[in-house]
Structure 1
């Protein structure tokens, strides 16, 4: 079938040893049902890249061999289109000729099914070649029920594919293949891990597969290079981790590395009594393992050298053999006619036909065969030794996490924390990040724990953060992203000032059909489909158009919404803080003086103002207003803590260059007193502190080798910093 650029189902399956469909029972049954009915029995299967559409197609061929396979499926003759081969011809006439041959085969083959693996690539190639009439011809065959067609389409390409022919929606059934999850995903991933075990000849701990699923499910918002859908994403992480593990294990065996780490622990200062004797035993074990591994390495290197020399020798002899055979052919061609007797000519003809060769050629062939046998035997010995090494290896969950840490940049210690530990550490993590809002953090901490560990409702966790600017509302959202999902990159912020018009709702869920950007989907829905584990911050919600609130109500009520393409998007693992400046004037009046408000009074006044600004049903979605929180205005002690933290961060960053900033407490307090404004909160402070860092940058650029202390003061009159540098080679006067 190669000449017709059709690949039979049996040939496709032959390239996938030990193929087996794992999971996907419902989807496979749905596919079989579509293919066996009378109307609209061609199918367009769409889904994200890596979700397993090709696997589902191969499963049709595999199912035919089952003893209990329905004869409706057994009768199907499956053909895969070799798109790359076809358009590799580079000649439109040749391409059209081949398509005619393909259509003829499909037409005369009963129950034929044509499978196209990347439909948009085919359509683009036809369009660029001016051959779109081929799509019309194929669709006509489908309408006439002369063949069936199975189109594989990436989810993002579906709209473009449907646009290319008006009959696609009438004569093809659309089938959406979503990512597997839960037990089904684990079953598929464990089966895929067996293939990796065979390829690498290293065992994989089932816990490593679960860790890979966990990592690739929770951290999809990161630029990790793991962009495909599940289960491909899990397999890719396992593959990358195993490749790195094997390289390291074949240079330093894991057991040897563990022993060396144990020796370092036993010989460190403060080691417990009796450590010396244990250290001696560990040293002896290290020596034994090093000697054993050196012996393995010597054998492997010897086999490798022999393999290389054998292959070089074979290549050299094969070149000689080709030369001799060419010379022999040339001799027969150049021999003058009639020179040889009739008997000799007959003998030469019979000899060549029977494979007779000259003694030199026979000797070379014999030598090649002997060397090839030695190379094959050497390869077997090499595999025996590597198997002895690999049999001691086990790819574990920690190795998966270490690999993901390298890819994502997230510290491995954070990745190794389970959800319970993260929840236990949540309050402390938030308090280290946000100052002056202790009761707010208590409330947020309690709400998150109940949401994660209490009765789940499959709805997002909403908050409405009220108060003045610069008091920590956005910082709490960032802290939640880092504490729950290990990085503040898991925060997606939507400035509602950009959603003030009626049609701005399309930015969130996508444009309606016929409008620009329809195929792209919505910014919010795409984000949650790609990464359901995130903190979604709706900033200054009071600025949003009323239609935005309808979307919001739908999400808070049901935990889901549909985008413009009709795809369901789940929000059950999303934290949804919203911020508003409503209540800011009341929060700023909180104090103990005459005419001041208590925090409780300010909260009640804020609720009154919120009722004027928002619909009652919207406010009730925040856990019956339980999660409507008024932030405190920041007092001077809090501002001083924030400035001190910023200075500490500068010192931590420049410590490696032996540069330190010294900001005396009295000067720091004076700076805060003269520059802090409750109306803008702490928002302006980092920018002012940047001026101090600018002094360091200027100094180190002028004198890269400089080390010393930057003494900072504050001039209340000019409201500017004063500074002086003290090199480390002299003391301050």
Structure 2
């Protein structure tokens, strides 16, 4: 988009003039603050200290604006099972930087499993219907961002895309540009944070840990591995070395164990209370109900398991209480014989 590029160049020249006039004062062109972004991430993402540390390092580097000029600002691949915070991490970064969780250009790679779907990214080749229009799944505004805000792109479940689609991304990751086959359009990724998620190797790692729990190694007191070898093997099966070599960092998200149930519960309750605040209402949970909601948690489904418990068991009872007591502002949820009830809070 020539207009956007002209504005970027104009803003860059303006800041450079200000720097020259004011002396050696280093001013970042990016307005986001890494500490503010990380505060939001640490409030919402649990059990992933290594991944969050890596995100903090990436944000600081981007803020300082010392990266290569002819590559995306950052390229990260998130590995791990479902429901552990991979996609949520990207959405929270978008919310903190762009002011909107939908500020990320998300491409569901599951829909690009066939080779001919590559045209959904780059437009139809010359001579085919739609080649002149140059339609693409990419939203240029979200991809390119602005001079003060990086664009954010998420390739979700990258391992499900066809080989042809993945090959298209090679040039994007290497040079930060995507040129359409028609030759009359280009999307610039040099001002973009690129994230990819994958479940590759997650099932193999889960099976490995299951065998450990029921095998002789546990009885001998041997510690299990972290499954990283299995994940590395799965990556090599799914992706060519030249693709993996263009990724800045591959991060593995941990399974969410019982140690994080209380934290997950508090996060979901805070989200529910945020929605209830629009109805001038607030909900508290009895200790018995908290224990009940955590009971039977299946770590295979991560945080989504807790969300399902809220939607299926707690929210219907909350809705009935809101309709029954429209003037009440304080409610307490309890459980008796597996039945969740919500009533007006009485001190």
Asked if Structure 1 and Structure 2 have the same fold, meaning a TM-score greater than 0.5 normalized by the shorter chain, the answer is: yes
Residues 517, 645 of structure 1: alpha-carbon distance in 2 compared, 3 angstrom cutoff: same
Residues 723, 530 of structure 1: alpha-carbon distance in 2 compared, 3 angstrom cutoff: closer
Equivalence map 1:65-464=2 (5 Å): 179-184=5-10, 419=30, 422-453=33-64, 455-458=66-69, 459-460=71-72, 461-464=74-77
**Is this contact kept in 2: 1:528–1:571, CA < 8 A?**
no
How far 1:564 sits from its partner (Å)? 3.6
Question: Secondary structure, in 3 states, of the residue corresponding to 1:549?
Answer: helix
**Is this contact kept in 1: 2:293–2:306, CA < 8 A?**
no
1:684 to 305, 321, 327: 305
2:234 to 609, 625, 630: 609
Deviations 1:63-118 (A, max 9, x none): xxxxxxxxxxxxxxxxxxxxxxxxxxxxxxxxxxxxxxxxxxxxxxxxxxxxxxxx
How far 1:182 sits from its partner (Å)? 3.8
User: Structure 1, unaligned stretches of length 5 or more?
Assistant: 1-46, 52-177, 189-206, 208-416
Residues 701, 669 of structure 1: alpha-carbon distance in 2 compared, 3 angstrom cutoff: closer
Residues 696, 620 of structure 1: alpha-carbon distance in 2 compared, 3 angstrom cutoff: same
Question: Secondary structure, in 3 states, of the residue corresponding to 2:173?
Answer: helix
How far 1:666 sits from its partner (Å)? 4.2
Partner of 2:259: 637
How far 1:546 sits from its partner (Å)? 0.7
Partner of 2:225: 598
Cα distance between partner residues in 2 of 1:606 and 1:617:
18
Cα distance between partner residues in 2 of 1:427 and 1:704:
38
Partner of 2:22: none
Partner of 2:23: none
Deviations 1:488-510 (A, max 9, x none): 12112111111011110110111
Cα distance between partner residues in 2 of 1:185 and 1:455:
17
Residues 714, 549 of structure 1: alpha-carbon distance in 2 compared, 3 angstrom cutoff: farther
**Is this contact kept in 2: 1:423–1:484, CA < 8 A?**
no
Cα distance between partner residues in 1 of 2:152 and 2:8:
22
Cα distance between partner residues in 2 of 1:187 and 1:496:
38
**Is this contact kept in 1: 2:91–2:101, CA < 8 A?**
yes
Partner of 2:191: 573
1:536 aligns with 2:153: yes
Partner of 1:583: 201
1:662 aligns with 2:280: no
1:471 to 80, 84, 100: 84
| Structure in which a larger fraction of residues adopt helix | 1
Deviations 1:663-712 (A, max 9, x none): 223431332131x2121111232232124233333333355334442322
Cα distance between partner residues in 2 of 1:504 and 1:575:
24
How far 1:441 sits from its partner (Å)? 0.7
How far 1:541 sits from its partner (Å)? 1.0
**Is this contact kept in 1: 2:83–2:303, CA < 8 A?**
yes
1:523 aligns with 2:136: yes
Cα distance between partner residues in 2 of 1:519 and 1:714:
64
Residues 179, 467 of structure 1: alpha-carbon distance in 2 compared, 3 angstrom cutoff: closer
Question: Secondary structure, in 3 states, of the residue corresponding to 1:519?
Answer: coil
How far 1:519 sits from its partner (Å)? 3.5
Residues 572, 705 of structure 1: alpha-carbon distance in 2 compared, 3 angstrom cutoff: same
Cα distance between partner residues in 2 of 1:668 and 1:437:
23
How far 1:721 sits from its partner (Å)? 4.3
**Is this contact kept in 2: 1:478–1:488, CA < 8 A?**
yes
- Residue-pair matches, total: 317
Cα distance between partner residues in 2 of 1:573 and 1:721:
52
Cα distance between partner residues in 2 of 1:448 and 1:707:
40
1:699 to 315, 321, 337: 321
**Is this contact kept in 1: 2:317–2:340, CA < 8 A?**
no
Cα distance between partner residues in 2 of 1:546 and 1:521:
22
Deviations 1:242-288 (A, max 9, x none): xxxxxxxxxxxxxxxxxxxxxxxxxxxxxxxxxxxxxxxxxxxxxxx
**Is this contact kept in 1: 2:321–2:343, CA < 8 A?**
no
Residues 530, 618 of structure 1: alpha-carbon distance in 2 compared, 3 angstrom cutoff: closer
1:628 aligns with 2:232: no
Cα distance between partner residues in 2 of 1:531 and 1:619:
21
Partner of 1:166: none
How far 1:513 sits from its partner (Å)? 2.7
1:557 aligns with 2:174: yes
Cα distance between partner residues in 2 of 1:669 and 1:480:
32
Residues 703, 515 of structure 1: alpha-carbon distance in 2 compared, 3 angstrom cutoff: farther
Partner of 2:295: 673
Cα distance between partner residues in 2 of 1:597 and 1:520:
54
**Is this contact kept in 2: 1:522–1:564, CA < 8 A?**
no
**Is this contact kept in 2: 1:510–1:564, CA < 8 A?**
yes
How far 1:561 sits from its partner (Å)? 1.5
Asked which structure has the greater CA Rg, the reply is 1
Question: Secondary structure, in 3 states, of the residue corresponding to 1:572?
Answer: coil
Cα distance between partner residues in 2 of 1:187 and 1:181:
10
Partner of 1:410: none
Residues 466, 656 of structure 1: alpha-carbon distance in 2 compared, 3 angstrom cutoff: closer
How far 1:658 sits from its partner (Å)? 5.2
Give the aligned CA root-mean-square deviation in angstroms: 3.0
How far 1:645 sits from its partner (Å)? 1.8
Question: Secondary structure, in 3 states, of the residue corresponding to 1:642?
Answer: helix
